[in-house]
Amino acid sequence: MPKIFENVSLKKLNTFRVEAKARWFTEINSEQELAELFADQQWQNTERLVIGGGSNILFTKDFEGLVICMNIKGIIDKIVHDDVFVTAGAGEVWNDVVTHCVDREFAGMENLSLIPGSVGASPIQNIGAYGVELKDVFHSCKAFDIETGGHLTFSNQDCQFGYRESIFKKELKGKVIITSVTYKLSTKPSLNTSYGAIATELQSRGIGQPTIRDISKVVSDIRVSKLPDPSTIGNAGSFFKNPIVSKLKCEQLLSDFPNTIHYCLPNSTVKLAAGWLIEQCGWKGKKIGETGTWKNQALVLVNHGNAKGSDIYNLSAAIISDVNSKFGVLLEREVNTI
What positions carry a catalytic annotation? 164, 238, 334
Q: Compute the least distance from the CB of residue 241 to ligand EPU, in Å.
A: 5
242 binds ligand EPU (CB under 6 A): yes
Q: Compute the least distance from the CB of residue 1 to ligand EPU, in Å.
A: 35
- By rule CB under 6 A, what string of x and - marks binding of each residue 199-228 to ligand EPU? ---------------------------x--
Whichever of 65 and 162 has its CB closer to ligand EPU, that residue is 162
Candidates 61-69, 149-157, 205-213, 276-284: pick the segment binding ligand EPU (CB under 6 A).
Answer: 276-284
- By rule CB under 6 A, what string of x and - marks binding of each residue 94-133 to ligand EPU? -----------------------------------xx---
State which of residues 189, 247, 276, 338 lies at the interface with ligand EPU (CB under 6 A). Answer: 276
261 binds ligand EPU (CB under 6 A): yes
Whichever of 207 and 261 has its CB closer to ligand EPU, that residue is 261
HEC assignment per residue over the chain: CCCEEEEEECHHHCCCCCCCEEEEEEEECCHHHHHHHHHCHHHHCCCEEEECCCCCEECCCCEEEEEEEECCCCEEEEEECCEEEEEEECCCEHHHHHHHHHHCCCECCHHHCCCCCECCCCCCCCCEECCEEHHHCEEEEEEEECCCCCEEEEECCCCCCECCECHHHCCCCCCEEEEEEEEEEECCCCCCCCCHHHHHHHHHCCCCCCCHHHHHHHHHHHHHHHCCCCCCCEEEEECECCCEEEHHHHHHHHHHCCCCCEEECCCCEEEECHHHHHHHCCCCCCEECCEEEECCEEEEEEECCCCCHHHHHHHHHHHHHHHHHHHCCCCCECCEEC
Site for ligand EPU, rule CB under 6 A: 129-130, 226, 237-238, 241-242, 261, 273, 275-276, 279, 284, 297-299, 334
